[in-house]
Structure formats: C-alpha cells, structure tokens
Structure 1
Amino acid sequence: MKTILKNKKLFVGLIMSALLLPACNDWTDPESLTLHTPSFEEQNPELYEAYLKDLCNYKAGDHNVMFVSFNNPLTYPVNRSEHLTVLPDSIDFVSLNNPDQLSGDIQNEMVEIRRKGTRIVYTIDYAGFEKDWTAIVKNSDGSLTEEDALQYLGERTDEMLALCDRYNYDGVIVDYTGRSMVSLPEKELAEYNARQKNFLDRIGAWIDSHKGKTLAFYGNAQYLFPEYMSILSKCDYIILKTLSSTGEGDLSVKAYMAVQAGKDAAAELGGSENLVPTDRFVACVETPRPEDKEQAFGYWDTETGGSKMLATYGAAKWVASPSVDFERKGLFVQNAHNDYFDNNPVYRNIRESIQIMNPNN
C-alpha cells in the first residue's frame, strides 16, 4: 500500500526492482545462474523486516480485502507468471486453482508470501461434485440410489476439506451456486434439501473444528433453505455471484437479493434478525483473458456505449462507494495470473483496484 511504502522509504526501491524485471511474456527461470543479484531483502534485511511488519499490520486492520484466484502449476514454476511470490504484496487472499498435489516449490512460496500477511485458500466447487455424480449415474446399471448420491457427495466434500490440514491452508471458499426452489416438484425439492443439508452440515462441522481458519461463501443466498442459512454467520465473507455482471448496478442487485433472502428466511422461521449477515459482502469479477479479442470477459459495458470498462476497475469503485443496507468489504478477482501480462508494472489492474478500494491507506 502507498502509505506503507512511503513510511518505510521503499517505494522507489520496489518500483526500480519491478522495472528491472524482464518484460517478455515467455520469461523463464534459467536453469544455471553464475551471477547473483542481491534482492532488496538481502541488501537491507532490517528495512525489509520493518516493511513486512507494517504490511502485516495493514492486513490485520480494517480495510477492503482483495481475494484472487491463481492458476498454480503442479510442477516447478517455469514462467515468471507462475510464481506466487510475484503477486502484489497487498493481496489478502490467494485461492489456488489446483489445491492438491502441490509441488515442493509452490509450498515453499506459500510460506514466503505468508510472511507478507497473505493467506492461501482454495475453493470447494460443489457443482463439480454434482456434475461428476450425474456422469456416474448415466454410466451405471440403474441400481444407484439417492443414499448412494449422498454418500458420494459427502465423501467428495470431506476429501476436499481434508486438503486444508494436509497442506496447511489458511481456509476455504465454498462455491455453492444452488438453484431456485420456486417451481421444483416435491420429489426434486426433497432431494435438493437433503443434498444441501449434507453439504453444508459438513462445512459447518469443519469450521467449528478449525477455529482461526477463513471461511468464505461464494454463492446465492436466496437458494439456501432458511434452516441452513446459519452457515453464513460462520463465514468471514459472503462473495456475491457477480462474475458475469456487466455493470455496478447488477452488483447492487445481487447484494440486495441476498439481504432480502435473509429477511424472508427469518420471517419464515418466525424470527426478526436477518439470517444473511449484511456486513461482509465481496464482489466477484475476473481479469481480461489474453486470447479474448472481443472483450467478452473481464469487461463491463459503459452507459455511453463506447469502449468497455475493465471489470476490476468498475467493481473496485463499487466496493469503495457507500451503501446503507449492507457493507461492501472487498473484491474477488478470478484468474489473477492473466493480469501479469497486461502491462508494466505486472498485475497493474489488480494493484490499481486495491488502491481504489483503499484510497486512504
């Protein structure tokens, strides 16, 4: 952050270091290196430690957070863009797209970025479990039952939760899209109810036994049964399903839908307190994809109909704007690795988004 760098007189040094990095997109780590250029940490370890202390204090304080997802390699990082240590220091959470079978190199880099107060998480995609089960049923002899489904879905959930302890993650993001219950036939509604309970009960039990870990819900609160909405009170953040949104208006609509869902659920259960916490909403966008020439991903439409706006920029402005009925607490930028190639400095759009969300830090 700007203030941290100014206070520690590191701004110039860090900018110079960034400018000295190769700009070529296919930069790779050399296998043999005869010359060693001392890093900033090696040149001035005391000043670097002071910088890390201020950085961790900033992240521990009240600010709008930045989540990013990162396409970590399963082998040794080859391209510069594959290194966790190149991500901006001011990112709060890094969600690894490939959370299992982590290489030793990636695990070492996880330790390194933790020194900066960055927490490493991963996403549990429930829709993926359902998709795999549907394929199993399609290829079966027809003898599989709903009890088999619950057992399979439960085992997949437990396997993913176990990764947190195996690799010492700092928490998980629960991706649960759900579906509208308005017109579901009775049998499908009962099945949907049982499967949702089966999944969320396991998530709830896990966080109860993992105090200090981060839990974020990425989904549609309005697709949860009222009796299961209590899981949201255990979540540190509620990430709105706004990846396909094309403007800030839709972000607000999604937030209000979640707020209203909590009110309706409370009324249905005979209570008055909103069952959806309104003080922890996070918007979700993605970075532009290098191969996308039509600007279909990572961009928002503009009111004037001219050139499109970067979704990261628009969403960051939305997070920084005031609201009455709910609190905007941050941004989740998916596929952050794409932003490495945007321009110099690397990860320019993510850096700017963090500054927009936290202009006084």
Structure 2
Amino acid sequence: MLLMGLFFASCNDWTETESVTQTTQRPDEQDPELWAQYTAALREYKQSEHTLVFASFANGAPVATSEKDCLRSLPDSLDVVSLTNADNFSEYDREDLTVLKEKGTRAVYFVDYASRSAEFTDLTALGAYLDKVVARTRELGLDGLSFSGIPVFGSYTDQAAQKAVASLFIEKFAAVAGPDKELLLLFEGDPQFLAPADRAKVDYFVLDTKETDNATDLKLQVLRALSAGAIPCNKLLLGAKTEYEFTDEDKGAADAISALTIRTPEIGSQPLAGLCIYSVNADYFGAEFIYPLTRQAIQTLNPSK
C-alpha cells in the first residue's frame, strides 16, 4: 500500500501543470549588432545594380489572421511593395513600415484607377483625392506613388477624357515623385495610357501581364510596350500573379511566377528591369518556408547576390 501511495503521489507530480512564460523577440532584439550588420547589407544590396523584384500586397487588414497579413514578414530582399489598400493604412501597417525601412524595402501608395474609374468620373473630385493621396503618402512616410490605367481606343470624346485623367495623375504625382525626385513613381498597366511626353516622368512601368496565360501573348505585350510604348527595357517590369497558370511555347504548363521569372532577362532586346508579383499574400504559406515562389524569383534573378 505504501508503494501504491508513492506511485500515485509521483503521478500527481508528473501531471501537475505549470505556467511557462514565453517571450517573443524580434531579430533586432536577439542580437542588435548582428541585425544592424544584416540590414545594412540588405540596404547596400538594394542600392546596387540588380534585377528588381516588386510585390503587390493587400495591406490594411483590421485584424491580422496570420503573418501573411503583415508587411514585416515579406521577403527581406524584396525591393518595393505596392500597397493595394493604402487608403486604409492600418496601425499594424504603420508598425511594420519601420521594419521595411530598416531593410531598405520601399513601400508605395497604389491608386488602382483601372478598377476604380467609375468612382472618379469628375475630374475635380479626382484631383482632390490625388492631393489627399500625396499628403497621406508624406504623412505616413511612404516611399512613393503608383497608379494604374487602361488606354481607351474608342471615340474622340472617350480618348480625350482618358487623356485628361492621365494628365491629371501626372500633374499631381510627378510634381513630387519620379526620376530625380524624392519619391518613387510607378505605373502599373499599359504604358499607352500615358502621353508619350509623360512616360519619361515615371521611374518604372509594371506591364499588365498578371493575367497573361501564354508565351505568345506575353511576347506581343512586351513588344508593344517596348516599341509603341517606347519604354526602355531597364524601366519595364513584368507582372506575374500568384496561383496563376502559364502555358509555354511547347504547351507545357507552369506557375506564372516561375515562368515569367525565367523570361525577364531574355524576352526583350536587353534584360528587363525585373518582376512584380501580384497577390503576394497568397504565396505566404509554403511547405518548407514562407513566400517560396517570391524567394525563388529573387534568387533566380539575382543568383550572385
């Protein structure tokens, strides 16, 4: 009986729960000196000549369901992130922006005019909104501006209205952003949305190839941008969408990000400036590590970096 009592007493000792205090530390808190060296190397890399990788990120989640909603978890070597919900920039985004700046990743305020044109049929209202965007960009400490648009090849009246909209974007955005300016200026879409004289005021063009699903159409779009659009290779990026299938010249299928990654250096007369990954949040969950396709694209385009 004595042995049985000792046995049950021991079992009680084993099964008694104890609270354990766990402290989550950011990398900069674990080893501040090593983190400073690492982020300095990242910033130096991003200032060097290399093939660019941008990402289009759905920010502004009111409650982060996982790290896929957090800017801080984007791949460290990413050059630029375009914020698709910049109008609703959250406190979580504000906290993560500090981390992006440490890494040298630039964040830009994206205005998707291509999908929101019905909201801005009045030029005065659009101009007032763009003024607020510029002011908000400065207030938040973002690194630039980006916008989209679809060229109109309809009636004279339709084309005139589109030209007025494009001119207004350039008037408002190019006043503070673009080549030799403090802020970065991007255009996401068909370059012919902008007047030829205004295209030089944009730093980079992300061609609207995110839903292009075959090699033939991709080549035609790039050729049109380089010739009719007169965009230099070193200012043009391809757009690739996460979870999108692409058919190559031999009718083989692959994911669009991998397919466009290998075409970025070779599809133009010279290597293109880089690649922009759309719906990047969807690439977060990987079998072995996070953002697998995005990381693979960065490494493939910059193997010696």
Q: TM-score, normalised by structure 2?
A: 0.84
Contact 1:222 1:257 in 2 (8 A): no
Which deviations, in whole Å up to 9, do the C-alpha atoms of 1:21-51 show, x marking residues without a partner?
Answer: xxxxxxxxxxx98312545433332222211
Partner amino acid, structure 2, of 1:312: I
Q: CA deviation at 1:208?
A: 6.9
Task: Find out whether 1:281 has 2:236 as its counterpart.
Answer: yes
CA displacement 1:136-173 (0-9 Å, x = unmatched): xxxxxxxxxxxxx2212222332333321121110011
Aligned ranges 1:191-340 → 2 under 5 Å: 191-207=161-177, 211-224=181-194, 228-262=195-229, 276-288=231-243, 298-306=244-252, 308-321=253-266, 323-324=268-269, 326-340=270-284
Please state how far the C-alpha of 1:303 moved relative to its aligned partner.
4.2
CA contact (8 A) 2:55 2:82 kept: yes
Name the amino acid aligned to 2:205.
I
Q: After superposition, where does 1:114-129 map in structure 2 within 5 Å? A: 114-129=101-116
Cα RMSD of the aligned pairs, angstroms, is 2.5
State how far apart, in whole Å, the 1-side matches of 2:225 and 2:152 are.
14
Say whether the 8 Å CA contact 1:69–1:94 is kept in structure 2.
yes
Deviation at 1:319, TM superposition (A): 1.4
Aligned length: 287
Q: Shift of residue 101 of structure 1?
A: 3.7
Of 343, 346, 351, the match for 2:295 = 351
8 Å contact kept, 2:212–2:218: yes
User: Partners of 2:295 and 2:190 in 1: how far apart?
Assistant: 28
Query: How has the CA–CA distance of structure 1 residues 314 and 75 changed in structure 2, closer, same or farther, with 3 Å as cutoff?
Result: same
2:157 to 180, 187, 198: 187
| 3-state SS, counterpart of residue 341 of structure 1 | coil
Aligned-residue offset at 1:192 = 3.2
> 2:162 and 2:203 mapped to 1: Cα distance?
25
Higher mean alpha-carbon deviation, 153-162 vs 56-65, is at: 153-162
State the SS of the aligned residue for 2:275.
strand
Give the AA of the match of 1:338: A
Q: Does 1:132 align with 2:119?
A: yes
The 2-side partners of 1:83 and 1:154 are apart by 31
Matched residue of 1:206: which SS? coil
**What is the letter of the counterpart of residue 240 of structure 1?**
L
Q: Deviations over 1:203-248 (max 9, x none)?
A: 3223279922111111212344xxx323221222111111111134
SS state of the match for residue 273, structure 2? strand
1-structure distance, mates of 2:148, 2:34: 40
Q: Is the 8 A contact 2:219 2:267 kept in 1?
A: no
Decide whether the 8 Å contact of 1:221 with 1:261 is kept in 2: no
1:41-79: CA deviations, max 9, x gaps?
Answer: 333322222111111111110111111111223424242
* Matched residue type, 1:300: F
- Ranges in structure 2 where 5+ consecutive residues have no aligned partner: 1-18
- Identical-pair percentage: 29
Amino acid at match of 1:282: L
* Cα displacement (A) at 1:331: 0.7
1:115 shift after superposition: 0.4
Residues 221 and 70 from structure 1, CA distance in 2 versus in 1: closer, same or farther, beyond 3 angstroms?
closer
Could you say what secondary structure the match of 2:29 adopts?
A: helix
- Residue 151 (1) aligns with residue 124 (2): yes
Name the TM-score, length of structure 1 as normaliser. Answer: 0.72
Change (3 A) 1:304 1:57: same
How far does residue 310 in structure 1 lie from its aligned partner after superposition?
0.9
The CA distance in 1 between the partners of 2:157 and 2:30, in whole Å, is 67
Shift of the alpha carbon at 1:258? Answer: 1.7
AA matched with 1:108: E
Q: What is the CA-CA distance between 1:339 and the residue it aligns to?
A: 0.5
SS in 2 for 1:314: helix
Kept in 2: contact 1:232–1:277 (CA 8 A): no
Where do 1:6-45 residues align within 5 Å? 34-45=21-32
Structure number with greater Rg is 2
In structure 1, distance between residues paired with 2:25 and 2:125: 52
| C-alpha displacement of 1:334 | 0.8
Q: Which amino acid aligns with 1:161?
A: V
